[in-house]
Amino acid sequence: MRSHAITQLVVGLAITTGIISVAMAADPPGGDKDMVLIPKGEFTMGSGEHSDEAKHQVVLDAYLIDKYETSNARYKEFMKATSHPAPAYWDDPRLSKSNQPVVGVSWTDANAFCKWDGKRLPTEAEWERAAKGPDGDNHYPWGHKLDPKKANYGQNMGRTMPVDSYPEGVSG
């Protein structure tokens, strides 16, 4: 039950906090300061809690993933450069500050943004590996215990925080 609640939290965060993009590790030499290198390696994917979440080993090549969600300011640059339409909730004053993560973005829109930004969306395996932290086996990027200093949850559900609000909770 606890694992299912955690899965719902992670999915909720993924849906509401915006776009995270990846680049192959060799693309930006030395990496980008706003990206985290996820090293090549094997990790256990899935929780085993449900039939569609069976635990299994996955091997991934090294890749870089954004530390933070895409901000409204950055997404606005994309819209201006490409004439792409605004996503849902764009005009919602609770969600539209320039340093907040863009929300209400469809997969198609997120994919278009990533291509424009010279990156791509992470695969499900890449997303899960980054979310499990450096050892690839945590419930959260930083460990197994939920920490209000490292994530936006609980009383903040339904609201977003500036993209760099939780530097101790970054993926990697």
Per-residue confidence (pLDDT) for residue 18, from 0 to 100:
53
Answer with the residue of higher pLDDT: 158 or 109: 109
Per-residue pLDDT, averaged over 100-106, amounts to 94
Per-residue confidence (pLDDT) for residue 57, from 0 to 100:
94
Task: Determine the Cα–Cα distance for residues 151 and 164; give it in Å rounded to an integer.
Answer: 11
pLDDT > 70 in the chain, percent: 76
Per-residue confidence (pLDDT) for residue 49, from 0 to 100:
82
Task: Determine the Cα–Cα distance for residues 60 and 37; give it in Å rounded to an integer.
Answer: 12
Per-residue confidence (pLDDT) for residue 9, from 0 to 100:
36
Per-residue confidence (pLDDT) for residue 126, from 0 to 100:
94
Task: Determine the Cα–Cα distance for residues 133 and 139; give it in Å rounded to an integer.
Answer: 8
Per-residue confidence (pLDDT) for residue 166, from 0 to 100:
75
67 pLDDT higher than 50? yes
Q: pLDDT digits over 21-56, tens only?
A: 665 544 444 456 788 899 999 999 988 788 788 889
Task: Determine the Cα–Cα distance for residues 69 and 171; give it in Å rounded to an integer.
Answer: 11
Residue 110: name the closest of 100, 121, 99, 101 by CA: 121
Residue 56: other Cβ atoms inside 10 A: 10
Domains of the chain, first to last: 2-154 (3.90.1580.10)
pLDDT band for position 118 (cuts 50, 70, 90):
very high
Mean pLDDT of the chain: 80
pLDDT band for position 120 (cuts 50, 70, 90):
very high
Per-residue confidence (pLDDT) for residue 11, from 0 to 100:
37
